Amino acid sequence: MSKPRILFFGYSEVGFECLDLLLRRGDNVIGLITHEDNPDETIWFKTPAAVALEHGVSIYTPASPNTGEWKAIIRRMAPDLILSVYYRQMISPEILSFARLGAFNIHGSLLPAYRGRAPINWAVLHGERRIGMSLHRMVKKPDAGAVVDQEGVEISPRDTAEQAFRKVMPCAVSILERQIDRLLNATAVETEQDESKASYFGGRKPEDGRIDWTRPSSEIFNLVRAVTRPYPGAFTDAGDLRLMVWWVELAQDHSGRPGEVLSVEPFIVATGDGAVELTEIDWRAAPLHAPTKGFQFQSQFLK
DSSP code of residue 232: -
Domain boundary among 201, 219, 241: 201
Q: What does the pLDDT read at residue 174?
A: 98
Q: Same domain for 94 and 159?
A: yes
Domain boundary among 159, 180, 201: 201
Q: Same domain for 108 and 192?
A: yes
Q: Which of 83, 73, 94, 107 is nearest to 10 (CA)?
A: 83
Q: What does the pLDDT read at residue 43?
A: 75
- Interhelix angle 161-185/12-25, rounded to 10 degrees, is 40
Determine how many CB atoms are found less than 10 A away from the CB of residue 10: 27
> Residue 196 — φ and ψ, nearest 5°?
-70, -15
Q: What is the pLDDT along the chain (303 residues), one digit of tens a residue?
A: 789 999 999 999 999 999 999 999 999 999 999 998 887 777 788 899 999 999 999 999 999 999 999 999 999 999 999 999 999 999 999 999 999 999 999 999 999 999 999 999 999 999 999 999 999 999 999 999 999 999 999 999 999 999 999 999 999 999 999 999 999 999 999 999 999 999 999 999 999 999 999 999 999 999 999 999 999 999 999 999 999 999 999 999 998 999 999 999 999 999 999 999 999 999 999 987 665 554 544 434 433
CA distances in angstroms from 20 to 24, 32, 103, listed in the order given: 6, 12, 19
The Cα 155–Cα 190 span in angstroms is 27
When divided into structural domains, the chain yields a total of 2
Domain boundary among 201, 234, 262: 201
Q: Same domain for 170 and 78?
A: yes
Q: What does the pLDDT read at residue 87?
A: 97
29: domain CATH number is 3.40.50.170
Q: Same domain for 197 and 211?
A: no
Rounded to two decimals, the pTM is 0.93
Q: Same domain for 219 and 286?
A: yes
Q: Same domain for 165 and 295?
A: no
The Cα 79–Cα 113 span in angstroms is 30
Q: Same domain for 108 and 245?
A: no
Q: Same domain for 72 and 181?
A: yes
Q: Same domain for 174 and 26?
A: yes
Q: Same domain for 66 and 158?
A: yes
Q: Same domain for 136 and 211?
A: no
Q: Same domain for 193 and 104?
A: yes
269: domain CATH number is 3.10.25.10
Q: Which residues contact 177 (CB under 8 A, 6 or more apart)?
A: 21
Range of the domain at 275: 206-301
Radius of gyration of the chain from its Cα atoms, rounded to whole angstroms: 22
